[in-house]
């Protein structure tokens, strides 16, 4: 992409998505979610006891803008696994219920967690790693 | 401001064969919950099905429509 160089936020987003096996873009943080949909989605991941990275999109409106342009998904939260968009709150909760989420994340119920996600070194996004 | 009836008819008009049930989740006119059944969803992933519904509303999602919670089925 031609404008990649001029677009550090887009670049930080794609780097974060590809550098973290499981990453959730949300409003607020898993400890202090700022929206019920984000809270429920983070809760779904926690219920499976998988480590995941979390990005709060609220500090800069451009994060949400660039994320939605990249993912072609209009709402927050957005969960990515292995670099692919899994969905927002509705899809994640539906997949939690059907067991598809556990399967996708390679856990069955309370089985072994995934390897810890890579730690970000970028300054553009605040990425938290959840264990 | 859109209401549930509005949202239902726009989904049904835009997606061939779709039948939608829409409720105003909070009564505040900005959080809606919709179940959409459309034969044209067959063969599409959940993500693609939801994208088709979101696309009906474009920029309104996240604007006047703060949230549109979706359940989609092909039959």
Mean pLDDT score, A106-124: 58
Model confidence band, residue A112 (pLDDT cutoffs 50, 70, 90)? very low
Mean pLDDT score, A45-54: 96
Determine the distance in angstroms separating the CA of A75 from the nearest CA of chain B, rounded to an integer: 6
- Which alpha helices (DSSP H) does A1-131 contain, by range? 8-19, 36-47, 61-71, 89-98, 100-104
Instruction: Using CA coordinates, name the residue in chain B closest to A80.
Output: B47
Mean pLDDT score, A14-22: 97
**B-chain residues within 8 Å CB-CB of A86?**
47
Mean pLDDT, each 10-residue run in order, chain B (75 residues): 92 97 90 96 96 95 91 95
Domains of chain A: 3-106+115-130 (3.40.30.10)
- Which alpha helices (DSSP H) does A28-88 contain, by range? 36-47, 61-71
Q: Quick check: A111 pLDDT over 50?
A: no
User: How confident is the prediction for chain A on average, in pLDDT?
Assistant: 88
Residue B53: which H helix or E strand, with range?
A: helix B46-57
Fill in the DSSP letter of residue B16.
T
- Measure the CA–CA gap between A129 and A126, rounded to whole angstroms: 10
- Measure the CA–CA gap between B37 and B53, rounded to whole angstroms: 11
pLDDT of residue A108: 75
**A-chain residues within 8 Å CB-CB of B71?**
90, 94
Instruction: Using CA coordinates, name the residue in chain B closest to A64.
Output: B62
Model confidence band, residue A117 (pLDDT cutoffs 50, 70, 90)? low
Determine the distance in angstroms separating the CA of B41 from the nearest CA of chain A, rounded to an integer: 15
pLDDT of residue A113: 46
Determine the distance in angstroms separating the CA of A90 from the nearest CA of chain B, rounded to an integer: 6
In chain B the beta strands, taken as DSSP E runs, fall at 19-24, 31-37, 67-73
pLDDT of residue A109: 59
Q: Which of B46, B47, B62 sits opposite A75 (nearest CB)?
A: B62
What's the distance, CA A22 to chain centroid? 6
Instruction: Using CA coordinates, name the residue in chain A closest to B70.
Output: A90
Two tokens at B36?
């959409």
| A85–B71 C-beta distance less than 8 A | no
Q: Quick check: A119 pLDDT over 60?
A: no
User: How confident is the prediction for chain B on average, in pLDDT?
Assistant: 94
Q: Which of B47, B67, B71 sits opposite A75 (nearest CB)?
A: B67
Q: Quick check: A95 pLDDT over 60?
A: yes
ipTM field: 0.86
Domains of chain B: 4-73 (3.30.300.90)
**B-chain residues within 8 Å CB-CB of A90?**
50, 69-71
**B-chain residues within 8 Å CB-CB of A91?**
46-47, 50
Mean pLDDT score, A29-40: 96
3-state DSSP percent of chain B in helix, strand and coil, to 5: 40, 30, 30
**Which residues have CB under 8 Å from A44's CB, separation 6+?**
A92, A93, A96, A101
CB A56 within 8 A of CB A111: no
């Amino acid at each position: 992409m031609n404008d990649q160089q001029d677009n550090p936020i887009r670049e930080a987003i794609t780097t974060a998505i590809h550098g973290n096996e499981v990453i959730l873009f949300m409003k607020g943080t898993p400890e202090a979610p700022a929206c019920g949909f984000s809270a429920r989605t983070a809760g779904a991941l926690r219920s499976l006891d998988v480590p995941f990275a979390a990005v709060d999109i609220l500090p800069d409106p451009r994060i949400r803008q660039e994320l939605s342009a990249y993912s072609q998904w209009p709402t927050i939260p957005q969960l990515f696994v292995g670099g692919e968009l899994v969905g927002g709150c509705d899809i994640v909760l539906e997949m939690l219920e059907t067991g598809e989420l556990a399967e996708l994340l390679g856990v069955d119920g309370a089985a072994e967690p995934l390897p810890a996600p890579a730690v970000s070194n970028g300054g553009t996004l605040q990425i938290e790693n959840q264990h | 401001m859109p209401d549930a009836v509005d949202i239902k008819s726009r989904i049904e008009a835009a997606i061939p064969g779709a039948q939608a049930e829409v409720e105003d989740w909070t009564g505040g006119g900005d959080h809606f919950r919709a179940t959409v059944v459309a034969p044209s969803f067959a063969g599409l992933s959940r993500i693609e099905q939801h994208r088709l519904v979101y696309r009906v509303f474009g920029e309104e999602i996240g604007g006047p429509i703060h949230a549109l919670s979706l359940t989609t089925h092909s039959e």
